[in-house]
Structures are given as C-alpha cells and as structure tokens.
Amino acid sequence: MPVTDAVIPVAGLGTRLLPATRSQPKEMLPVLDRPVVQYVVEELVTAGVRRVLLVTGRRKRAIEDHFDADPELGSSPLLDPASGLQILYTRQARPAGLGDAIGYGRGLGATDGVMVALGDAILESAGNPSLSRRLIDTFEAQRPAAVIAVEAVAPERVSRYGIVAGPLEAITGLVEKPPAERAPSRWAVAARYVFAPRVLDALAGTPPDAGGEVQVADALNALIAGGERVIAVPLGPGERRHDIGTVEAYVATFVHFARADPRFSALLDG
Ligand code: UTP
C-alpha cells in the first residue's frame, strides 16, 4: 500500500519566538503571502499525501481556522474536494515533546507507513521528485523502520540538531544536539521523516527525557539497537530546510524567499 497519510506536529509552545507567539501559533507566521504550515501541507499534497493529521494544542486554533471554509473569505484551494485532501485534527494533551506529538499518528490508522513533517520548517525543493516524494519512494521500495531526511550542516551548527551516525543507507544511531567535537557526522536531521507503524508504537513506549519530552532519537536508537534499519536520505542540490523556530531563523527564511521572488526582491535592495 502506498504512503498517503501524514502527521504534522504543530503543538509546540514556540517559546523562542516570544512575544510573537503569545497568542499566535508560530506555524501561522507568514513567509511572504502564506503561513508556514500552508507551505508544509502543499508540499505533502504534491508528494502524494491525501490525509493529514495536524497535532495541535492550546493557542493553536488559528491553524484550524486557516484551513477552514469561510463563506466571506472563500475556501482554501487545499479544501477543494478536487485536491483530494482530507485534514484531521487532534490535540496533544500537553507539549510533551516532538516524539509524543508524532505518537498521536497511531490514531490515524495508517497501516503501512506515515509521513511526518514538522510544521515549523519549509523544505525548499528544486528537485523533481521532491525530497518528500523521495523519502516516500525510498520507504516503499525498501520498507525499513524509518526514512529520515538529512542535511549537511557546518561544524559550528551541529549542536543545534539531531545528528546521524554511520552510513546513510543504514544509520547506526542518532545523537541529539552534540557538541561539535563529539558529533558523529555533519548530517543533521531535516524536519521530514517516513515512519513504519512500529516507530509510532515505539514512540508511545519511549519514556520522556529529563526535560519531560519524548525524543524521536531515543525511539529510533532503541529500534536500531534491536536490529531495525533506518535510512537517511540527503537533501539534493537546490534543496534546503528553512526553520522558523527562532527570530533569527524566521527573519533569514523570510528574506531568503523574498530575495528569490521577483515580486518582492526589488523591495529589499532599496
Ligand atoms: P520545536 O521543539 O522546535 O518547537 O518542535 P517548540 O517546542 O514549539 O519550540 P520552543 O523551544 O518552545 O521555541 C518542532 C515542531 O514540533 C512541534 C512544534 O509545534 C514544531 O512544529 N511540537 C514540539 C509539538 O507538536 N509538540 C511538542 O511537544 C513539541
């Protein structure tokens, strides 16, 4: 069965973007003319996803309103039945980490695998097929426990990301935010995954870390230790992950897309 289900976790508190996120979800911050989460949903639809579960939480209602039909404003093209997309919502009981949020995908009933896309990261893709499509294709062809997107980052940035160890065809583990001198590679996990249902089961059984958050890395490391295969797929030329999780990253992302768009680039040079 093809992978047509996806989970987009959008329940994080967005504390690094305060005060912008006091009442507004960070995933609703616009980049040019659209909120970030719309880029994510559009990317998934292009990759063949037909059902999306948005894992929301407190102060996140604007996301549901955004994708709702509105008699005064008109409907979103994404909601047009012709798009073939079904959007579902559930609420994370408390912000107990990304791993906990993804675990809500178990309720989706995905039998063969589920795409996971972080709601606060735009994946710029010049390639055809797109990165998300390549992740799904790799998963469907090889049926590992997980396929994860990875991006090469500069040594001084490895301490911000989950970093993979071992050959990309079968990684030997993941290390969360290692100091540069202890990073096993420069391949950083890049906000997109495809998980077999057993990964969602493993997340449900993974204890929270000292900070009270369930870490994806802990669940994947346990599966790898048990002999499961996890494949890392690198971003290709022209592909880039753009986070908006900090003010600096948000500004850099906005300016990058403005520069790349002839409608706005001239505004930046004045
Ligand atoms: P982050 O860890 O970057 O988001 O999660 P955060 O917790 O909102 O960030 P800060 O540290 O408070 O600024 C990446 C993605 O995972 C979601 C977020 O909404 C974001 O899209 N997430 C994170 C959840 O859905 N639930 C969580 O418990 C944590």
Cα angle 40, 36, 264 (rounded to 5 degrees) comes to 115
Closest residue by Cα to residue 134 from 37, 236, 42: 236
Average pLDDT for 224-238: 96
Dump strand ranges (E) for 30-179: 30-31, 34-35, 51-56, 86-91, 114-117, 121-124, 146-152, 162-165, 173-176
Q: Is residue 173 part of a domain?
A: no
Q: Is residue 186 part of a domain?
A: no
Average pLDDT for 103-107: 92
Average pLDDT for 209-214: 95
Q: Is residue 180 part of a domain?
A: no
Q: Is residue 170 part of a domain?
A: no
Q: Is residue 265 part of a domain?
A: yes
The tally of domains found in the chain comes to 1
Ligand 1 near 11 CB (within 6 A): yes
Ligand 1 pocket mutation, candidates 120, 189, 193, 253, criterion most atoms within 8 A of CB: 120
Dump strand ranges (E) for the chain: 5-9, 30-31, 34-35, 51-56, 86-91, 114-117, 121-124, 146-152, 162-165, 173-176, 187-195, 230-234, 240-243
Q: Is residue 17 part of a domain?
A: yes
Task: Say how far residue 245 (Cα) sits from the centre of its chain.
Answer: 12
Ligand 1 near 99 CB (within 6 A): no
Residue 247: per-residue pLDDT: 97
Task: Report the C-alpha gap between 225 and 67 in whole angstroms.
Answer: 40
Q: Is residue 167 part of a domain?
A: no
Ligand 1 near 20 CB (within 6 A): no
| Per-residue pLDDT reduced to its tens digit, 115-169 | 999 999 999 988 789 999 999 999 999 999 999 999 999 999 999 999 999 999 9
- Name the residue range of residue 207's domain: 5-145+191-269
Which one-letter DSSP state was computed for residue 208? P
Task: Report the C-alpha gap between 179 and 162 in whole angstroms.
Answer: 11
Mean pLDDT, rounded, of the chain: 93
Cis peptide before 129 (omega within 30 of 0): yes
Task: Flag the least confident range among 23-32, 74-83, 190-199, 229-238.
Answer: 74-83
Residue 270: per-residue pLDDT: 59
Residue 128: per-residue pLDDT: 80
Quick check: 254 pLDDT over 90? yes
Ligand 1, atom 6: nearest CA belongs to which residue? 12
Length of the chain in terms of residues written = 270
Task: Report the C-alpha gap between 143 and 27 in whole angstroms.
Answer: 31
Average pLDDT for 191-207: 96
Quick check: 59 pLDDT over 70? yes
CATH number, residue 233:
3.90.550.10
CA of 156 to the centre of ligand 1 (A): 22
Q: Is residue 165 part of a domain?
A: no
